[in-house]
Amino acid sequence: MRQPVYLDYNASAPLRPEAAEYMTSLMGPARNPSSIHSFGRSSKLIMETARGDLAELAGGDASGFMFTSGGTEANNTALLGFEQVITCIVEHDAVLAARPDAHKIGVGIDGGINLPELDSALQQAKNRGGEILVSVMLVNNETGRIQPIEKLLKICRSYDVAFHSDMVQALGKIPIKLDEWSRSGLTMASFSAHKIGGPPGVGALWVAPGRHVPQLLKGGGQERGRRSGTENIYGIAGFGAAAKSASSWQDYAKLWPKWRSEFVVKLQQACSDIVLTTKDAPCVSNTISLLLPAMPAQIAVISLDMDGFAISSGAACSSGKVQESHVIKSMGFGSLSSHVIRISFGWENTQDEISALADALIEIYKRHQEKQFTIEQ
């Protein structure tokens, strides 16, 4: 019997062996990086090494990174202290729920943010006064759609407003240039360890030089006074090890576009009504968002799971159940929003597995169509 195939990397990537081994090797001695004795100093060194490895992967100065409990905390922290927040309607719930008062910019049918609408919203916000933050994710977690960060930065800079980006799904998949983008106005960026093969429960917020961040958690003043609480040294070490390992992402990036393209072509040749939700828009090559007009996503996810393929529908980190996606609905798919599945692969997958998934999905989809036709007759 074939081993189950995991194809839900955007929900959480498998723990990289390098991260697991390094974390395990550190367990035993007391480790509080705030202590000034030798045990504390060695812990501090572990933490700063991880900070440096993350900075290397993200193209930013290491001193700008503050470690958090995950991407959600990083996003929540970034949104603090602003009188007005402008975001995008397809953002992760960690942004939308953190600032329900935010003005939400719409997207086109391919998931790209409406730039003229953002420009207009900024004009109105400037007239109202107060400090303004624009928060737009670099890569969408459900569709893989890449937003035009250079254009976003140019607009925000013209209005002299702060700009934050949730880069959780971008790290290890496309080039990230924090230092370069900060010179164009990037203020903050959020990251998460478990999306790149680190452990869950640890993330980071990168803050541009000279930018003050209000404390979400108050106490001992760790992380240079920006985030209180004893640091999760094992999680941080695993984050750093995963970041170091993920630096080889370009090796995979060369393969994934071909796998993605061949999968979509094979599927659409057999089932012409199946639609790639992002069409020809720029996307990370490990993510495939598919509309199955004749089959609810819940049936597809469960059926494929029974066949040994783990995929998802919607954002797995927002719910333990299959539900209608606000992202897909915002892209204009209406009542068919509950018919969209997400396939996201990674470094442990092979081309043969992606091809086998296409075969399984084609069989399941056609079988469901035939069943529906019989019922209607």
Amino acid at 159: Y
Decide: 274 and 295 in contact? Cβ < 8 Å: no
Q: Give the closest residue to 229 by CA, choosing from 240, 237, 219.
A: 219
Kindly report the backbone phi and psi dihedral angles of residue 188, in degrees, each rounded to the nearest multiple of 5, phi listed first: -150, 155
Given 88, 271, 283, 317, the catalytic residue: 317
The two beta strands, 65-68 and 84-88, are unpaired
Give the helix/strand (H/E) hosting 165: strand 162-166
Decide: 161 and 31 in contact? Cβ < 8 Å: no
Kindly report the backbone phi and psi dihedral angles of residue 280, in degrees, each rounded to the nearest multiple of 5, phi listed first: -100, 15
Q: What is the DSSP letter of 156?
A: H
Q: Is 88 a catalytic residue?
A: no
Taking the CA atoms of residue 92, residue 94, residue 95 and residue 96 in that order, the dihedral angle to the nearest 10 degrees is 80
Kindly report the backbone phi and psi dihedral angles of residue 301, in degrees, each rounded to the nearest multiple of 5, phi listed first: -65, -45
CA distances from 30 to 34, 35, 156 (A): 12, 10, 46
Q: What is the rounded distance in angstroms from the CA atom of residue 131 to the CA atom of residue 247?
A: 36
Decide: 195 and 10 in contact? Cβ < 8 Å: yes
Kindly report the backbone phi and psi dihedral angles of residue 149, in degrees, each rounded to the nearest multiple of 5, phi listed first: -65, -35
Around 157, how many Cα atoms within 13 Å sit in the side-chain half-sphere?
A: 13
Task: Using the structure block, give the residue that is written with the tokens 């001193």.
Answer: 63
Residues noted as catalytic: 317
